[in-house]
Amino acid sequence: MSSGRTEKQSGCDGPRPGPQRPGSPCDGTVASGGAAPRGLASLTGFLSALPGGRRLRQFVGFCLVGASGVLVDSIVLHVLVWWAGWGVGPSKILAAEAALLSNFFLNETWTFRGALSASEPKTWFGPRLLKFQAICSAGIVLAVLLIRLFYGRLGLQLYLANILAIVIVTAWNFILNVLCTWSPGPAHGHARPSPRP
């Protein structure tokens, strides 16, 4: 007798007036094949629903990606300084560069997914990678100056000096990448030209 039943377990009897909150049973995004963990999807949906939530969600995602970069950065820095015997400056440059590529692809595929206009497909990431590299390279120079100040001049412990430098440079990187790298609209303008018929 189950063939005559109508599936209404989700509570959606039809279209409802007003926008549906992301992640609600009626917004069409729940049964998406499990692209993201449920808790993470709920967090991003909640942040997006707040005033200015889209930018807040991006910032939280950017920081989470940056946290993974901190791990990469710190491991490489430790290996180069304490095992290889390199100087702090060159070691910091290579450690930050190793984290940079990891951070870009995580931001590209998750943090800023859907942030661009249709005029620049997500598959064409070359110009964005160059912008991200330029902005973050300037951030690396800033980080080297900061770590030399905190570690060399102020005498802070190496890892604490490194984390303080990362926190400051994270703000720099997020603001400039939002404005320049993943900014939607015609000003972004690096789309591949459409072939003539």
Residue identified by tokens 């590209």 is 108
Using pLDDT thresholds of 50, 70 and 90, give the confidence band for residue 50: low
CA–CA separation, 193 vs 57, rounded Å?
32
Span 70-78, mean pLDDT? 90
Span 128-137, mean pLDDT? 89
Collapse the DSSP code of 27 into the 3-class scheme (helix H, G, I; strand E, B; otherwise coil) and give the result: coil
**Of the ranges 2-11, 25-34, 76-85, which is most confident?**
76-85
Between 54 and 173, residue with greater pLDDT = 173
pLDDT in tens, 156-192: 999 999 889 988 988 888 989 988 888 765 444 444 4
Q: Identify the pLDDT of residue 57.
A: 83
Q: Is-contact 92 145, C-beta < 8 A?
A: no
Between 65 and 19, residue with greater pLDDT = 65
All residues at 6 or more sequence positions from 11 whose CB lies less than 8 Å from its CB, including other chains: 25, 26
Helical H runs in 14-118? 38-49, 53-78, 88-106
pLDDT in tens, 82-112: 999 999 999 988 987 888 888 998 898 888 8
Q: Identify the pLDDT of residue 183.
A: 77
Q: Where is 162: in which H helix or E strand?
A: helix 158-180
pTM: 0.54
Question: At residue 52, does pLDDT exceed 90?
Answer: no
Q: Calculate helix-pair angle for 158-180, 126-147, nearest 10 degrees.
A: 150
CA–CA separation, 163 vs 27, rounded Å?
40
Question: At residue 121, does pLDDT exceed 90?
Answer: no
Percent of the chain beyond pLDDT 70? 61
Q: Give the chain's mean pLDDT.
A: 73
